[in-house]
Amino acid sequence: MKRLTLCADDFAQSLSISAAIFELLGQQRISATRVMSQSPLWPELAKDLRAMAT
C-alpha cells in the first residue's frame, strides 16, 4: 500500500494560518508542515508545534 504525505505550507506566516494548521494536525488531516522560520511569530509558535509532535 502506498502512503501519502500531506504537508501544509507557511506555518507561522500569520496566526490564522497557524491556527488552521494546528487544527488540521490535531485532526490528523495533514502529516507535516513547512514553516516560515524567519517570521517573528515562529519562536513562540514553534513551542506549541513541538508539543504537538510529542
pLDDT, tens only, 3-26 = 899 999 999 999 999 999 999 999
Pick the residue with more confidence: 12 or 2? Answer: 12
Pick the residue with more confidence: 52 or 34? Answer: 34
Task: Supply the range of the domain harboring residue 35.
Answer: 7-53
Computed over every residue of the chain, the mean pLDDT equals: 95
Cα separation, 32 vs 9, whole angstroms: 9
Residue recorded with cell 509532535: 53
Tell me if 12 is assigned to some domain.
yes
- What is the count of structural domains for the chain? 1
Tell me if 17 is assigned to some domain.
yes
Tell me if 1 is assigned to some domain.
no
Q: Can you say whether the dihedral through the CA atoms of 38, 16, 10, 32 is positive or negative?
A: positive
**What is the pLDDT confidence band of residue 53, given thresholds at 50, 70 and 90?**
confident
Tell me if 39 is assigned to some domain.
yes
Tell me if 27 is assigned to some domain.
yes
C-alpha cell at 30: 495533514
Q: Can you list the positions of beta strands (E) in 1-54?
A: 7-11, 32-35
pLDDT at 54 over 80: no
